[in-house]
């Protein structure tokens, strides 16, 4: 999708592989920054970033690291941008089954206009609790898929066969994806309930298996330093939010992963209540 001189728009905070992939191919990134507490996208501002060099818009829904999700209005706006400008769309939807509180995942594949100009990426690693295997897949129209395969053939040609056969065999059974959201929401709710009387303030996660917490009532340290301090002093590892921004915007937020055993979550809660 990206050749030397092309530009890609990235919505930040963003997963840390997006920008390097663009730059490695000779492209440049233009960034729209989402801000706490709601992390909503101003789509007019995104559209205003587009110029004659813009080739690609990268989106992530459900969103890592914020836990925010798109609604139908968001997809309406994305569809307008793609139709009006002719840019291509790369949609990272690896957390598609991890959407909470009765919300429904909004995939670009549900919109013919977006499906025509877009590629949607998914992950068996996320959906089947097998993140160490890093096996995923992409869905696109035949033209875009053919272009993608030209590169994919030479970059990811050695995914281990046992994992591929195991996932294929599992998918032939009666897989009930609907239980995944409840499975992870229970863990999210356990973490939130445990920390409700702490000095951490949650920014409620609507999807993924990550939860952001505001620590401004505890410390004025930059998030990177706070995360190191929390790990060192209390034995709980978190991820600061600022590294997910090009500008290192510091909003006094850290990310906690709740894709853990119940006893691990409760152990972390016990430690964090002492902060």
- Write down the pLDDT at residue 256: 98
Give the closest residue to 98 by CA, choosing from 264, 258, 262: 258
Average pLDDT in the 37-57 region?
A: 97
Average pLDDT in the 218-245 region?
A: 98
- Write down the pLDDT at residue 132: 81
pLDDT band at 142 (very low <50, low <70, confident <90, very high): very high
Average pLDDT in the 163-172 region?
A: 92
- Write down the pLDDT at residue 16: 93
- Is residue 151 predicted with pLDDT exceeding 90? no
User: What SS3 class is residue 248?
Assistant: coil
- Is residue 156 predicted with pLDDT exceeding 80? no
Mean of pLDDT over the chain: 95
- Is residue 108 predicted with pLDDT exceeding 80? yes
- The alpha carbon of residue 159 and the mean position of all alpha carbons in its chain are separated, in whole angstroms, by 22
pLDDT band at 152 (very low <50, low <70, confident <90, very high): confident
Cα–Cα separations (whole angstroms), residue 261 to 29, 183, 232, 237: 38, 11, 22, 15
Domains 7-171 and 178-272 belong to one CATH topology:
no
Question: pLDDT tens digit string along 188-207?
Answer: 999 999 999 999 999 999 99
Strand-pair partners of 121: 92, 138
Q: Domain spanning 7-171 has what CATH number?
A: 3.40.640.10
- Strand 201-203: give its sheet, edge to edge: 201-203, 210-214, 253-257, 239-240
What ranges do the domains of the chain cover? 7-171, 178-272
Cα–Cα separations (whole angstroms), residue 135 to 54, 105, 127, 192, 199: 30, 21, 10, 31, 38
- Write down the pLDDT at residue 60: 98
pLDDT band at 38 (very low <50, low <70, confident <90, very high): very high
Alpha-carbon dihedral of residues 263, 15, 75, 109, nearest 10 degrees? -80
- Is residue 131 predicted with pLDDT exceeding 90? no
CA angle 156–91–88, rounded 5-degree value: 95
Distinct helix (H) and strand (E) counts, the chain: 10, 10
- Write down the pLDDT at residue 129: 87
- Write down the pLDDT at residue 218: 98
User: What SS3 class is residue 69?
Assistant: coil
Contact 253, 224 (CB under 8 A): no
Overall fold of domain 178-272:
3.90.1150
Question: pLDDT tens digit string along 72-104?
Answer: 999 999 999 999 999 999 999 999 999 999 999
- Write down the pLDDT at residue 140: 96
Pick from 51-60, 150-159, 204-213: least confident: 150-159
């Amino acid at each position: 999708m990206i050749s030397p001189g092309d530009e890609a728009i990235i919505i930040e905070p963003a997963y840390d592989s997006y920008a390097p992939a663009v730059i490695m191919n000779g492209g440049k990134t233009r960034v729209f920054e989402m801000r706490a507490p709601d992390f909503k996208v101003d789509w007019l501002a995104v559209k205003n970033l587009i110029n004659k060099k813009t080739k690609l818009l990268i989106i992530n829904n459900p969103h890592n690291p914020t836990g925010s999700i798109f609604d139908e209005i968001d997809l309406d706006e994305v569809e307008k941008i793609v139709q009006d400008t002719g840019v291509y769309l790369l949609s990272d939807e690896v957390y598609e089954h991890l959407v909470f509180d009765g919300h429904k995942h909004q995939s670009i594949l549900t919109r013919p206009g977006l499906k025509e100009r877009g590629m949607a990426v998914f992950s068996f690693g996320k959906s089947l609790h097998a993140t160490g295997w890093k096996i995923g897949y992409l869905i696109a129209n035949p033209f875009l898929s053919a272009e993608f395969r030209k590169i994919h053939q030479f970059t990811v040609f050695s995914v281990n066969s046992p994992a591929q056969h195991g996932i294929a065999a599992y998918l032939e059974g009666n897989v009930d994806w609907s239980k995944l959201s409840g499975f992870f929401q229970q863990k999210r709710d356990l973490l939130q309930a445990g920390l409700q009387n702490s000095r951490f303030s949650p920014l409620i996660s609507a999807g993924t298996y990550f939860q952001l917490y505001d620590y401004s009532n505890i410390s004025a340290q930059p998030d990177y330093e706070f995360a190191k301090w929390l790990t060192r002093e209390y034995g709980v590892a978190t991820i600061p939010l600022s590294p997910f921004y090009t500008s290192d915007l510091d909003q006094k937020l850290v990310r906690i992963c709740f894709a853990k055993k119940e006893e691990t979550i409760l152990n972390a809660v016990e430690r964090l209540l002492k902060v």
